[in-house]
Amino acid sequence: MNKLVMLSDIRTEKKESDLSVNINFKDDSSNSVEEYLDFKNKFCKDYFDKDEICDNKLSSNVLDEVINKIFLLNNKKLFIDFVNEIFGDCLGTNCKISHIDNGKSRKVIRGKILKNPSCYINIFVEDEYRSFEYSIQFQTEDYENIAIEITKNNKSAKIVNIINLEEKKRYYRSDDMKDDLLSKDLDSYLIIVNSNMRVPDSYELREDDDNSCDILYRFNILKGWKYDFKDLYENNLYLLFPLKIFDLKKHIVYMKNLKSPNEIIEKEISRFFNEMNKYLNIMKEKNIIEYKDIYEYNIISKQLLRAVYSSAV
């Protein structure tokens, strides 16, 4: 069922396939503070604060609400495959999943990275032995620079993790190691959906700590425009299919600047949905999704296109 979106529908309702970004951390020798200062100022906090708590006073908009639906698709396998790929959690599809959105919790633990999140949702996943909390936040106030942060909290091993980290801190604060720097991979993942500035492959934040030893917390970055539908499918990141709308929006802006006829723009929109549905149908044949999931993907993508289209005209 290939449900297409035409330009007239939107009005009435107001490849780079280069997998240069890997799911694993990559060394980036040019990742200097100066080179990515615009990126830091736009997206990142000045310091990493592992204990930060925020009041539930984040703003919300139509774009937030639509992106929210992507992470709450009825088929839980899509989210499980996604977090398994970026965190390596090896969760099975028989996990219990629940969530708390931004309207049902007075206080939440904020993510580690984003400076100005506008929306958040917490998803809880539990199997026979483990319990994870995934905090997902969006930064969407600038349509040209949209980011999503996913932070994992391993609740089943929280005490052990704290003890291990404190032991590392004491070791690195000893007299013999006082000049050394402890670097820790952060259980957070940053997706830059689109951006008009240079974005690194990974980045580091210093802990906001009164102690003499600085600790660098390092996180990986996925650049959405580096992945087409084929890449997302092959890397088990198909949950992010609807976010390719932002690439389409950029192409629409380019075509409008060239004074392209509306018929050409309509064909480009149709091509986008045909391509997405091609891979959704492949997933259906492999029993990853059902027909109702294909319908849900198309509805969310159509809503997302409406949400961003006003900024493209």
Can you tell me the distance from the alpha carbon of 50 to that of 112, in angstroms, rounded to the nearest whole number?
7
In a domain, 114, yes or no: yes
In a domain, 214, yes or no: yes
Tell me, what's the pLDDT at 84?
94
In a domain, 149, yes or no: yes
Residues 263-312 have pLDDT tens digits of: 999 999 999 999 999 999 999 999 999 999 999 999 999 999 988 876 54
pLDDT band at 153 (very low <50, low <70, confident <90, very high): confident
Residues 213-229 have pLDDT tens digits of: 566 778 889 999 999 99
In a domain, 54, yes or no: yes
In a domain, 252, yes or no: no
pLDDT band at 79 (very low <50, low <70, confident <90, very high): very high
Instruction: Give the structural domain span for 229.
Output: 26-239
Tell me, what's the pLDDT at 53?
37
pTM (2 decimals)?
0.73
Q: How many domains does the chain divide into?
A: 1
Tell me, what's the pLDDT at 43?
58
In a domain, 249, yes or no: no
In a domain, 104, yes or no: yes
In a domain, 9, yes or no: no
Top-confidence residue, 280 or 6: 280
The neighbour count for residue 188, using CB atoms within 10 Å, is 22
Give 149's strand partners: 137, 190
Residues 164-216 have pLDDT tens digits of: 554 455 444 444 443 344 545 568 889 999 988 888 888 887 765 555 556 67
